[in-house]
Structure 1
Amino acid sequence: MRKVGPGIARVATALAGGLAMVMVAASPAMADTSQSTASALQISLVGGGLASSGSASATNDGTTESISGNTNPPLAVLGGQSVITAGVLGQYVRAFNDGTSAACAGVLGSGGSITIGSGGNCTVSPGAEVSLNLGANGLATISLVADALYSSCTATSSPSATGTASLANARIVSTVAGVSTTLLTLPANPAPNTGLSVAGLLNLTLNAQSSSTTGQLSVTALNLSAIGGALASVTIGQSSCGPNAVAPPIPVIPLAGVPIALGLSALAATTGGGILLHRRRRAASRS
């Protein structure tokens, strides 16, 4: 009886390697999901009127980032309101493939800019001074004046989330006959949920932070409610990050294709085995 030739051994080895490759291809891969949202400015008027910059949002399924909304809306989106008439609205968002996300939102003076770097850091370049008209108190005009007012946050799929608020050179000012007086100076980097007020005029919450679950954080640079007048409230710089998570395993070969892959492997193995048996029978008949 003849021995099995080296060609048949090579076929068997190739089939075994092919089956191993199928099993490796069918093994799952992990993908971290991430998300964030941002809104620059919301203005509420007594009687129900609302002016809003809208919002931008980012999501990532572990492989592809999707961003929707306007990240740099013009002041025209606020309609005919008279609270802010010059400045820059920024609401930037990112959701990265590694399960991290970032958001940065707020109001700057004309010529200012907000960006989010590849590492999720919020970078702000203040422009000219920005002023928000909060209404009148007798002969005085009350304003919120600043170089920049914004919040930022980051989140990971570990899960964790952090956030901050920055109020650059911010203050509440009363102006009478062209002469301005500072009523309240706001801290540049306030602690979370800092409450301040101007007696009889305004209530403020700086760096307002809240969380719906572990790994999620919402940060608002400044919430302001007016006492009397036509203006009800102003909300500046809303950023939200997370929750991000490690997604369930995703097969490299889709589940629907695994039976096909395994079937092809089995067919290859059967065909190889048939060839081997046929060669042996021919060898036996010639003995």
Structure 2
Amino acid sequence: MPRVRSGLARTAAALAGGLALAVLAASPAMADTSQSTASALQISLLGGGLASSGSTSATNDGTTESISGNQSPPLAVLGAQTVIAAGVLAQNVRAYNDGTSAACAGVLGPGGAVTIGVGGSCIVTPGAAVNLTLGTSGLASIALVADAIYSSCTATSSPSATGSTSLVNARITSTILGVETTLLSLPVNPAPNTGLNVPGLINLTLNGQSSSGLGQLSVTALNLTALGGALAGVTIGSVSCGANAVAPPIPVIPLAGAPIALGIGALAAGTGGGISLWRRRRATARN
């Protein structure tokens, strides 16, 4: 009787081992997805005209990053406009397979550059000042002048999302006969949705932030509405990160193959049990 019980125990153990192999083979492989978008500059004209740098986007399905669009578009993409004559357009995006994503976008002076560093941070090298002509008021030429204006965001699949805006030496100016006067100095790191204005000329929203849900954030560095002239508005540095998520389970063995896997496990267990029983009978015959 002890031998029979021992054999049954070994058979049960073999069966469990075989089934465990099948289950492990069919266990899911988890992968996090991520996404981000960026647009450097849009210029709106009265009458519906629009000059745009376009946009870039990055997605990751958990294994492969795909990026579309030009991350460093030339000013020529803006067409025949008179707002900006020289400068750098940046709209950088990344989407990683660990469920994180990042974006940086904005306008810099000639010689400037933007890259996305470790952890999704924006690494900015300012160049010369960039000048955006906003129109005229009497004899004065009104402009937005800065070394760099850009926004950034990061998101994770935890889920979480953060964003910020930087305006380096940014100001609204009035120039008459070559003499420049600062009408409004803009804060370097404005709080979300900061509203400013030059009475009778310009309304501004700095570091505009909005979210469609947990783990998603959209940021616009600067949105300007002109109150007169041919220019309707300027939007600089629009980015969006997330929502990033844990992907659905992906079985290593497809569901259609699960019965086969279980069958193999059972067969392995049965074979082990059969061998054990044969050994017991052989030992009994010898005795």
Shared fold, TM over 0.5: yes
CA RMSD in angstroms comes to: 2.7
Question: Where in structure 2 are the equivalents of 1:78-93 lying within 5 Å?
Answer: 78-93=78-93
CA distance in 1, matches of 2:254, 2:80: 53
**1:101, distance to aligned residue in structure 2 (A):** 1.2
1:260 maps to what in 2? Answer: 260
2:57 maps to what in 1? Answer: 57
CA distance in 1, matches of 2:162, 2:28: 31
Structure 1: gaps of 5 or more residues: 4-11
Shift of the 264–90 alpha-carbon distance from structure 1 to 2, 3 Å rule, reads: same
User: Aligned letter for 2:209?
Assistant: Q
Q: Deviations over 1:30-81 (max 9, x none)?
A: 2222111111001110000011111111112222222111111111111111
CA distance in 2, matches of 1:236, 1:169: 15
1:137 maps to what in 2? Answer: 137
Q: Deviations over 1:101-152 (max 9, x none)?
A: 1111000011111111132111111011101111111221111000000000
1:227 aligns with 2:233: no
CA distance in 2, matches of 1:67, 1:267: 47
**1:250, distance to aligned residue in structure 2 (A):** 2.3
CA distance in 1, matches of 2:130, 2:185: 15
CA distance in 1, matches of 2:127, 2:14: 67
Residue 84 of structure 2 aligns to a residue whose secondary structure is coil
Residue 20 of structure 2 aligns to a residue whose secondary structure is helix
User: Aligned letter for 1:180?
Assistant: E
1:99 aligns with 2:121: no
1:187 maps to what in 2? Answer: 187
- Which shifted more, 249-258 or 127-136? 249-258
Once superposed, which parts of structure 1, at least 4 consecutive aligned residues long, lie more than 6 Å away? 12-16, 274-287
With normalisation by structure 1, the TM-score equals 0.88
1:9 maps to what in 2? Answer: none
Shift of the 16–40 alpha-carbon distance from structure 1 to 2, 3 Å rule, reads: same
1:242 maps to what in 2? Answer: 242
2:165 maps to what in 1? Answer: 165
1:25 maps to what in 2? Answer: 25
How many residues matched?
281
User: Aligned letter for 1:224?
Assistant: L
CA distance in 1, matches of 2:89, 2:239: 13
2:110 maps to what in 1? Answer: 110
CA distance in 1, matches of 2:61, 2:118: 18
Structure 2: gaps of 5 or more residues: 4-11
Q: Deviations over 1:208-233 (max 9, x none)?
A: 11111111111100000001111101
With normalisation by structure 2, the TM-score equals 0.88
